[in-house]
Structure 1
Amino acid sequence: MIRSLLTLAVCLVSLTLHAEDKDDGKLRIIVFGAHPDDAEYKTAGTAVKWARLGHHVKLVSVTNGDVGHWNEAGGPLAMRRTAEAAACAKKLGVTSQVLDIHDGELVPSLENRKLITRVIREWKADIVITHRPWDYHPDHRYVGVLLQDAAFMVTVPFICPDVPHLTKNPVFLYSSDGFQKPYPFTPDIAVSVDDSFEQKLDGIHELTSQHYEGGANGSEEHVKSVPPASDEVGRRAWLKRRWGARQGSEAEKYRELLIKLYGEERGKAVKYAETFEVCEYGRRPSAEEIKQLFPFYDAK
């Protein structure tokens, strides 16, 4: 029964997409994370910037997160995390979708390749963002593999012919990570999220089960170390310290790329950044097209 209700919830979320289905000349961006927090953590700041300009952004969790907690699991957790992702998306001004695949059980099957292909086509994506296929978590790795496998298939007419194929291949991008083998993350795009960082915090604040309770690696001790739910100010400060350090480190690490894209004065001033690497399997954008797809660099 719980699984049926979750499936219904996912279908209802999907129905909301039709309101944004018309071609209005705006960009259409879709971000795939393995769990209901990955896409949000990796891209929320950039997603906010796109959304503010009227572009359409959807954050997709490929699994339902039903084992991503130290003290609860199954259908109730999946429903809780779907609700958290939806609340986060509302704060960010974007769309959320959680697919009904068990957490920790994702495999790069033909069935899942077709599912991902359909989701990209239904969104009519210009940009697709996901994990690199080298990661500590098998779900993260296999999301990367599935997106690589779909990168060509989204344009093939007789694969999944029930959904119209894309006539132009999207630009496929990887979100950042710290893994070094077989090769380290090498960004082509760096985005200042200084002006969207607070709104990113507003959104990920809603992912209570993950940072405030610690997710799969949490514990009672972790929960006790975090300001209580009644202390909104304390929680926000705790979250900002953690994510300020993370996005600040990303800005420092890729400072030269920020300067290249924003110019010396603005690039040196960036405090928080999100970064992306172009995947070879999709369309390969020129430097000029990158500035069209990420229309933030000329804004003052």
Structure 2
Amino acid sequence: MNRHLKVLVVVAHPDEAEEYAAGTLSLLADRGHHVKVLSTTNGDAGHYTLAPDDLVRRRLAEAYRAAEAIGLADYEVWDEHDGDMVDTQELRQRMLRVIRQWRTDLVLTFTDEGPGHNDNRLAAKLVRSVVGLTSLPNPCRDIPPLAERPAVLRMIDYGSVDRHRHDVAVDITPVLDRKLDACAAHASQFLEFAPAQRDLVAPDAADRAAVDAFILTHWSEYFETPAGAVPALQRAYGDAAGGIRYAESFEIAPYGRALTVAEADALLHG
């Protein structure tokens, strides 16, 4: 692939792009592609001791540190309350505007179906609702339409692990340290909120070796190669696929620009 892509990653909370796709995003950025993360809520519910306003400021600062680790071109966080997001025409129009303003070629997001966090499903639903309008001239007339609809690939999240289809997989071993850096930047989540939820004893944030080991142990399903991703890795990496310990995988969404598996491979590996 010769031209640089405009990639938009749509999640519901700051830290999710890092948790589920930071390796792939780092590799895309290294190849000169322009990667933006959009969080549709500000994450103000995700803590037991910090007040909402303080938590929003904390999480924004964490997101910007993570962006540096990955090499993102932009990180946008909407001021929508965590857990309160609903599917409205206003938010659909806002999503349409972001996709068109970014001149998006590829969207990475969640599945909008099934169990899991309601905000995650709704963030993906907003994408699904408007992606067919992105190339039409009449909606959102103050922003030029895209030449064609973006392609859409769907990430794993905790609510879709059992139903995710591993259409495309990426070896993230070369950038494992950057995914760990990006996750560790979100200390309010990985070292405070999630451990409190799961009754875990988190290490001192200053002990990076211990932090990395803690994240790799307790979020292993989003780092280590899923068994179902092996065929996709073999297609992309050949005989070397058997030795790939860390990988991220994506499924082709049934909306957006139609993609073959080979075309999806070219988007993530080209």
**Same fold? TM cut 0.5:** yes
1:33 maps onto 2:11 in alignment? yes
Query: What corresponds to 2:228 in structure 1?
Result: 253
Give the CA deviation at 1:96: 1.3
Tell whether the 8 Å contact from 1:179 to 1:185 is kept in structure 2 after alignment: no
Q: 1:87 to 1:145 in 2, by over 3 A?
A: same
Query: What corresponds to 2:248 in structure 1?
Result: 274
Q: 1:187 to 1:169 in 2, by over 3 A?
A: same
Tell whether the 8 Å contact from 1:178 to 1:185 is kept in structure 2 after alignment: no
Give the CA deviation at 1:25: 3.2
> Which residue of 292, 297, 300 corresponds with 2:266?
292
Q: Secondary structure at the match of 1:64?
A: coil
Q: Could you tell me how far apart the structure 2 residues matched to 1:220 and 1:270 are?
A: 29
Q: Could you tell me how far apart the structure 1 residues matched to 2:145 and 2:191 are?
A: 41
Tell whether the 8 Å contact from 2:19 to 2:222 is kept in structure 1 after alignment: no
In structure 1, runs of 5+ residues without a counterpart are: 1-23
Tell whether the 8 Å contact from 2:70 to 2:178 is kept in structure 1 after alignment: yes
Q: Match for 2:165: what amino acid?
A: T
Q: Could you tell me how far apart the structure 2 residues matched to 1:194 and 1:75 are?
A: 37
Q: Could you tell me how far apart the structure 1 residues matched to 2:157 and 2:221 are?
A: 15
Q: Match for 1:283: what amino acid?
A: R
Give the CA deviation at 1:245: 5.3
Tell whether the 8 Å contact from 2:111 to 2:160 is kept in structure 1 after alignment: no
1:214 maps onto 2:193 in alignment? yes
Query: What corresponds to 1:190 in structure 2?
Result: 169
Tell whether the 8 Å contact from 1:65 to 1:81 is kept in structure 2 after alignment: yes
> Which residue of 123, 128, 131 corresponds with 2:102?
123
Q: Could you tell me how far apart the structure 2 residues matched to 1:100 and 1:180 are?
A: 26
Query: What corresponds to 1:226 in structure 2?
Result: 202
Q: Could you tell me how far apart the structure 2 residues matched to 1:228 and 1:128 are?
A: 36
> Which residue of 69, 79, 97 corresponds with 2:47?
69
Q: 1:220 to 1:275 in 2, by over 3 A?
A: closer
The aligned runs of 1:1-300 (5 Å cut-off) are 25-94=3-72, 95-133=74-112, 134-177=114-157, 179=159, 184-215=163-194, 218=196, 222=200, 225-244=201-220, 246-250=222-226, 252-263=227-238, 265-295=239-269
Give the CA deviation at 1:243: 4.0
Tell whether the 8 Å contact from 2:14 to 2:59 is kept in structure 1 after alignment: yes
User: If you compute each CA radius of gyration, which structure gives the higher value, 1 or 2?
Assistant: 1
Q: Match for 1:199: what amino acid?
A: R
Give the CA deviation at 1:144: 1.5
- What fraction of aligned residue pairs are identical, expressed as a percent? 33
Give the CA deviation at 1:26: 0.7
In structure 2, runs of 5+ residues without a counterpart are: none
Q: Secondary structure at the match of 1:186?
A: coil
Q: Secondary structure at the match of 1:157?
A: coil
Size of the aligned set, in residue pairs, is 267
Tell whether the 8 Å contact from 1:70 to 1:219 is kept in structure 2 after alignment: no
